[in-house]
């Protein structure tokens, strides 16, 4: 009875309090909803603040335009040679606060050797970031096997019991040339980089009527057209295509052979441009990019040049190789460097020759993966300034020996510069190549000095020719 009374009492009290409790719960529920709404809004604001903090530097960062190709694009030291790659001048046509041009053209490179050489394509990839652009221009050295793939050609020669070719750059335009272009495109896209195919500049191969012949336009036969094959890759892979072959042909024919050879090709051959020619080609590259609707995003970054600015930029490049030595304080040193290694060369009676002892026919430029290398390392916490490099050199067996001396940094051979060129070494006449060019070797870095020989074979492979090298003498100072 007592339990029933208590239960009845509690029910009565609950019925009286129920409306009040319901109101309290409803009010608490409203407060909880309001708090969640405030927190959600604050979270959105916080996200926007964080985005503005972390993303603005990305939006405002410089884009990079990477250029890969051969000697018609590459960097040269003004004091070493009259050659100038057009890639040296491309930065002039971009606003420096928006775009940095990373010119990685390499003398002697074909699509195959650029892709397969450790210091080239892998090191360019390591420098690329999402949002960058990549201009791809090859063909001059892909043509070394007259439009055939050198691996296929060598297989045929071996089957006939004949000597094989040692220059491994040649690709066939319809097969391996296309394949390597495709590799560059695919791997650039994987990194979020926009690839651009640019047809190679013409060679100055004039016909009597003042026009450029087929070979000058990279057409070696009815079905050996490198420009057509590049265009086909662009269409198949949906890549912007800039026809520099056609644009440079029009430029050369408009100015005529005499003017072109005097002003554009004043380097001793019909392939490599000098300063005026390199700048003229860079101007054409600027025009082609600006006119391409698919590259409209790049237009605001382009920098219309006045004649005065044009000339000032070109002059700055000429002066860059003539700078006085660094003035930082340090401890002077001299060091003797012995060869640290070779690539595709061997010593035969103190002379460096190709591993097959046969210099290939048709070489007009360095072969990037054939060299003797010397190394000098900076201490972990102390940089070096190299102010002089002396290389004893002597051609043996013939007058057709040519050399480049290049330097770059690290195992990936970054920031490559051609510091010396000699395309007329006289046999049996030793020379001391002296490079008085200040080179900063950052702390912990290794400077690689490479001597790259090739032989003017006069149309046929040559045997019994070699390059003799002495120890390299390096002087400079260790910075405090």
- Quick count: other Cβ atoms within 10 Å of Cβ 419? 23
In a shared domain, residues 240 and 376 = no
Does any domain span residue 23? no
Q: Are residues 312 and 379 in the same domain?
A: no
Contact partners, residue 316, CB within 8 Å, separation at least 6: none
Residues 298 and 408 in one domain: no
Q: Which domain holds residue 40?
A: 32-61
106 and 192 both lie in a single domain? yes
Which pLDDT score, from 0 to 100, does residue 52 have? 38
Please give the pLDDT value at position 412.
75
Separation between Cα atoms, residue 76 and residue 105, nearest integer Å: 10
Instruction: Look at residue 397 and tell me if it is in a domain.
Output: yes
Domain annotation covers residue 242: yes
Residues 384 and 308 in one domain: no
What is the spatial distance between Cα 193 and Cα 465, in angstroms, rounded to a whole number? 45
Tell me the average pLDDT of the chain: 85
Number of structural domains, the chain? 3
Return the pLDDT at 164.
81
Domain of residue 182, CATH code = 3.40.50.1110
What size, in residues, is the chain?
480
What pLDDT digit, counting tens, does each position of 407-460 carry? 988 887 877 888 899 988 999 999 999 998 778 888 888 999 999 999 987 778
**Tally of CB atoms within 10 A around 394:** 19
Q: Along the 480 residues of the chain, how does pLDDT read in single tens digits?
A: 444 444 444 444 444 445 554 555 555 555 555 555 555 555 544 444 443 333 333 334 689 999 999 999 998 877 767 889 999 999 999 998 899 999 999 988 999 999 998 778 999 999 999 999 999 999 999 998 999 999 999 899 889 988 787 788 999 999 999 999 999 999 999 999 999 999 999 999 999 999 999 999 999 998 999 999 999 999 999 999 999 999 999 999 999 999 999 999 988 789 999 999 999 999 999 999 999 999 999 999 988 777 777 778 888 887 765 544 456 678 899 999 999 999 999 999 899 999 988 898 878 788 888 999 999 999 988 888 898 999 999 999 989 999 999 998 888 787 788 889 998 899 999 999 999 877 888 888 899 999 999 998 777 888 999 999 999 999 999 987
Cα→Cα distances 118→122, 188, 295, 410, Å: 6, 16, 30, 11
> What pLDDT is recorded for position 139?
97
243 with 193: CB under 8 angstroms?
Answer: no
In this prediction, residue 19 carries a pLDDT of 53
First to last CA, the chain: 102
**What is the three-state SS of the chain?**
CHHHHHHHHHHHHHHHHHHHHHHHHHHHHHHHHHHHHHHHHHHHHHHHHHHHHHHHHHHHCCEEEEEEECCCCCCECCCCCCCCCHHHCHHHHECCCCEEEEECCCCCCCHHHHHHCCCCHHHHHHHCCCCCEEEEECCCCHHHHCCCCHHHHHHHHHHCCCCCCCCCCCCCHHHHHHHHHHHHHHHHHHCCCEEEEECCCCCCCECCCCCECCHHHCECCCCCEHHHHHHHHHHHHCCCEECHHHHHHHHHHHHCHHHHHHHHCCCCCCCCCCHHHHHHHHHHHHHHHHHCHHHHHHHHHECCCCHHHHHHHHHHHHHHCCCCCCCCCEEEEEEEECCCEEECEEEECCEEEECCCEECCCCCCCCCCCEEEEEEECECCECEEEEEEEEEEEEECCCCEEEEEEEEECCCCEEEEEEEEECCCCECCCEEEEECCCEEECCCCEEEEEEEEEECCCCCCEECCEEEECCEEEEEEEEC
Q: What is the pLDDT of residue 49?
A: 40
- Return all residues near 115 (Cβ < 8 A) that are at least 6 apart: 121, 180, 183, 184
Residues 385 and 441 in one domain: yes
pLDDT confidence of residue 58: 39
Residues 335 and 293 in one domain: no
pLDDT at site 314: 83
Helix axis angle, 244-255 relative to 275-291, nearest 10°?
130
Domain end marker among 40, 61, 82: 61
Tell me if 18 is assigned to some domain: no
Q: How far is Cα 265 from Cα 249, in angstroms, rounded to an integer? A: 14
Q: What pLDDT shows up at residue 265?
A: 93
pLDDT of amino acid 430: 94
Distance, in Å, from the CA atom of 364 to the CA atom of 362, rounded to the nearest integer, reads: 6
Find the helix packing angle between 307-320 and 275-291, rounded to 10°: 130
Residues 399 and 475 in one domain: yes
Do residue 233 and residue 276 come from a single domain? Answer: yes
- Is 430 within a domain? yes
């Amino acid at each position: 009875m007592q339990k029933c009374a208590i239960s009845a009492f509690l029910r009565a009290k609950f019925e009286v309090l129920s409306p009040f409790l319901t109101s309290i719960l409803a009010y608490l529920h409203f407060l909880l909803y309001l708090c969640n709404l405030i927190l959600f809004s604050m979270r959105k604001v916080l996200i926007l603040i964080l985005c503005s903090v972390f993303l603005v530097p990305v939006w405002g960062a410089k884009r990079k335009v990477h250029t890969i190709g051969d000697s018609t694009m590459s960097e040269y030291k003004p004091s070493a040679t009259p050659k100038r790659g057009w890639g040296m001048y491309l930065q002039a046509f971009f606003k420096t606060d928006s775009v940095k041009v990373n010119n990685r053209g390499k003398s002697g490179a074909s699509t195959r050797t650029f892709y397969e050489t450790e210091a080239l394509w892998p090191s360019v990839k390591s420098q690329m970031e999402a949002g960058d652009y990549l201009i791809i221009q090859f063909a001059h050295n892909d043509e070394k096997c007259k439009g055939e793939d050198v691996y296929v050609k060598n297989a045929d020669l071996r089957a006939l019991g004949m000597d094989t070719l040692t220059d491994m750059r040649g690709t066939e335009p319809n097969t391996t040339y296309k394949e390597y272009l495709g590799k560059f495109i695919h791997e650039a896209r994987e990194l979020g980089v926009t690839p651009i195919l640019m047809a190679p500049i013409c060679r100055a191969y004039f016909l009597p009527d003042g026009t450029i012949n087929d070979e000058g336009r990279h057409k070696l036969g009815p079905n050996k057209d490198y420009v057509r094959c590049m265009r086909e890759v662009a269409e198949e892979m949906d890549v912007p295509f800039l026809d520099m072959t056609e644009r440079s042909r029009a430029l050369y024919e408009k100015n005529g052979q005499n003017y072109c050879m005097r002003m554009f090709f004043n380097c001793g051959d019909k392939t490599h441009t000098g300063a005026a020619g390199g700048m003229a080609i860079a101007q054409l590259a600027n025009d082609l990019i600006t006119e391409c609707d698919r590259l409209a995003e790049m237009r605001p970054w382009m920098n219309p040049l006045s004649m005065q600015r044009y000339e000032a930029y070109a002059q700055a490049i000429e002066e860059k190789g003539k700078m006085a030595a660094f003035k930082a304080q340090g401890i002077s040193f001299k060091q003797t460097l012995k060869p640290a290694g070779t690539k595709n060369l061997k010593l035969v009676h103190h002379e460096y020759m190709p591993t097959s002892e046969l210099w290939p026919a048709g070489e007009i430029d360095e072969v990037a993966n054939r060299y003797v290398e010397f190394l000098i390392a900076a201490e972990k916490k102390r940089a070096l300034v190299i102010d002089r490099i002396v290389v004893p050199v002597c051609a043996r067996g013939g007058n057709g020996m040519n050399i480049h001396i290049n330097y770059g940094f690290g195992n990936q051979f970054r920031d490559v510069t051609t510091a010396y060129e000699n395309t007329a070494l006289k046999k049996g006449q030793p020379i001391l190549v002296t490079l008085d060019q200040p080179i900063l070797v950052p702390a912990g870095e290794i400077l690689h000095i490479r001597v790259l020989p090739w032989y003017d074979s006069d149309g046929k492979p040559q045997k019994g020719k070699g390059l003799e090298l002495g120890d390299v003498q390096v002087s400079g100072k260790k910075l405090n």
